[in-house]
Copies of this chain bind each other. A is one copy, B any other.
Amino acid sequence: MDNAQGHPYTGVASAPMTFRQQLDTACARSRSLLCVGLDPDPALLPVEDVLDFNRQIIAATHDLVCAYKPNLAFYEALGLPGLRALEQSLRFIRDMAPGVLLIADGKRGDVGNTAQAYARALFETWGFDAATVNPYGGRDSVEPFLEYRQRGVFFWCRSSNPGAGDLQDLVVASGQEQGQPLYQVVARRVQAWDRYENAGLVLGAPYPEELGKVRALCPETPFLIPGIGPQAGDLKQAVRLGTNAQGRRAVIAASRAVLYASRGTDFAQKARQAASALRDAINQVLAQEGHPW
């Protein structure tokens, strides 16, 4: 299903890198666990043109990040011109920062040939390195994504919104999983489904306790952690509890805090300052924990 050459820009001709290796490489190269979410919200954009905005943000931050995470909803809301801007933004990143991973944040999930079409859309048509996926449909609904063995599949596990617990925290009564909340069952299932070590989990930073519990269940799985707030406390906990024993495998995602650090003409410069401060704050925690780059 997947091509044999792994990440198209790694230039490695022999064995393709696993997704975990690609992620480790992207983090080591940038000395950063920071991922910038590219969420062009018309109500907040300091310039009119989305592509122009993205290009300036990318040019200002690409050496500070391991990944970019375009949030597909914002491009879809702009219709075909938005999706064209997404396509051109992806090309711009590949040209300017070939070592940076591209994560499609779309939380896709559906059955059978529809799931196959989504996987094809994200990994072939758009060429993303990884995607966020919703696990509600069960194993066969997510296998078409996982079958792209060199691409990362981050399963939505525990979100950071007020209603996250409505379903995700429901305690399960069934046999082996008795007494566990649904999000932990999801984490266990994902681990069982992960034959090619290309599965990851999406876990909101504002719930450090949940983050730590899932890290204990899945010691080496890459985590995608959105929702880091302006408080350094949140960030510190997210880094401490979200990383593996070597202080890696966590992708800490910030969107608005970077993109809209300023809404004036200095937005790119301020975005760089914000991204740099976040990377430094993350790296400070890593160093304190004994895991410098």
Contact = CB atoms under 8 A, between A and B. Distances in A.
Contact of A170 (B109, B156, B185): B185
B170 A174 contact: yes
A152 interface: no
A139 B114 contact: no
A12 interface: no
Interface in A61-91: 71, 73-74, 76-80, 83-84, 87
Given A71-B114, A121-B77, A173-B172, A167 B140 contact: no
A97 interface: no
B179 A167 contact: no
Contact of A178 (B78, B136, B173): B173
A171 interface: yes
Interface string A170-213: 11111001110010011001000000000000000000000000
B163 A139 contact: yes
B141 A170 contact: no
Contacts of A108: 73, 107
Contacts of A265: none
Contacts of A137: 156, 159, 161, 163-164, 167
A73 B104 CA distance: 14
A290 interface: no
A233 interface: no
A168 B117 contact: no
Shortest beta-carbon contacts, A-B, top 3 = A138-B163, A138-B166, A173-B173
Given A41-B113, A112-B161, A137-B164, 14 more contacts: A39-B113, A77-B118, A79-B125, A107-B108, A107-B110, A109-B134, A111-B160, A111-B161, A134-B136, A139-B166, A140-B163, A170-B173, A172-B173, A173-B179
Interface of A: 39, 41, 71, 73-74, 76-80, 83-84, 87, 105, 107-115, 117-118, 120-121, 124-126, 134-141, 156, 159-168, 170-174, 177-179, 182, 185-186, 189
20 contacts: A73-B115, A76-B121, A76-B125, A77-B117, A79-B121, A80-B84, A107-B108, A111-B161, A136-B168, A138-B164, A138-B166, A167-B186, A170-B173, A170-B174, A170-B182, A171-B174, A172-B173, A173-B173, A173-B179, A182-B182
